Structure 1
């Protein structure tokens, strides 16, 4: 897959998920139903695309231990988020109504460790990886500072909750798409 596609498609799919989430909530409840499932499938695809994004960012940052560690942190966050979204899709497909979903989510989250790994701490690692990687790349002058600022703003806005996802996706798109040029960037990152 062309890496530039992942850099553009991942944030765009976050925006698609955010839009479908808004549509799904128009009746006062979210899920189960087509908007729930389609939105979550879009977000799952976005999370899969963040893996090649982190691998490309690692190369852009010079492939050293710091870049590798940061990429691993981001990918672990993406995997934890993938687990969460997969659970959401399965619960949405199995539940007859919103009340049944609530009970299924309570059962899943009562499993020791699931809440921390899949719902609270784990997914944050995706954003932490993006933030650290883009700050490093900006300091090394491998990407323009405005890209790092857009990613940092996306991370900060994400703290507002899921209702802020349209802005998060847009800011990620500004920061990520298109893939920053690689010529000379790896050398600049390696020097820092």
Structure 2
């Protein structure tokens, strides 16, 4: 397994965990935003999604394909993951720099990040179908993102759940390609 997969699968959820803790610290005064914890936490979240995009690119490279439809599915999953990651990056950027207009309707700001989970779930699902990854891995990862979507205050817990889901990638236990 390549180093970028292991590093990104470990570092991205840990940076999200750091963001969740910084978000909690930022809210201790009863107000969230425009402070050191806010800026540092959002920067960590931004870097986390850069790493998630790196992870998606490298997963795309290791997904085995035997048929044209599998290649199209893999390629579409990568596009979805990258568009979703870019949406997360844009939302985070506009949180860090509120003077920058989002330029996107609210529905797009909410809906586009979902593409990241769809793309990642598909890439990981293809690895499950190829018996290179345990079936629970993508399900646990998605559950972590669902927790965060339900309530941002669950971000630290959801990040740990995502880390658990990506553990087979972070530990380098992605199974080799079989016959």
| Range into which the TM-score falls when normalised by the shorter chain | 0.7 to 0.9
Q: What TM-score do the two structures reach when normalised by structure 2?
A: 0.84
Q: Which has the larger radius of gyration?
A: 1
Taking the aligned partners of 2:57 and 2:173, their CA distance within structure 1 comes to: 13
The number of residue pairs the alignment matches comes to 169
CA distance in 1, matches of 2:111, 2:138: 23
Higher helix share: 1
Task: Tell me how large the CA RMSD over aligned residues is.
Answer: 2.1
Q: Deviations over 1:43-102 (max 9, x none)?
A: 0000100111001211222262211110110111000110111111112xxxxxxxxxxx
Q: Which runs of 5+ in 1 are unaligned?
A: 92-103
Aligned to 1:135: 125
2:114 to 103, 118, 124: 124
Task: State the Cα distance separating 1:10 from its structure 2 match.
Answer: 0.5
Which residues in structure 2 correspond to 1:35-114 (within 5 Å)?
35-62=37-64, 64-91=71-98, 108=101, 111=103, 113-114=104-105
Alpha-carbon contact 2:64-2:127 (below 8 Å) kept: no
| Structure 2 alignment gaps of length 5 or more | 66-70
SS of residue matched to 2:150: coil
Off by >3 Å, runs of 4+ in structure 1: none
Q: TM-score, normalised by structure 1?
A: 0.79
Question: CA–CA distance in 2 between the matches of 1:53 and 1:161?
Answer: 25
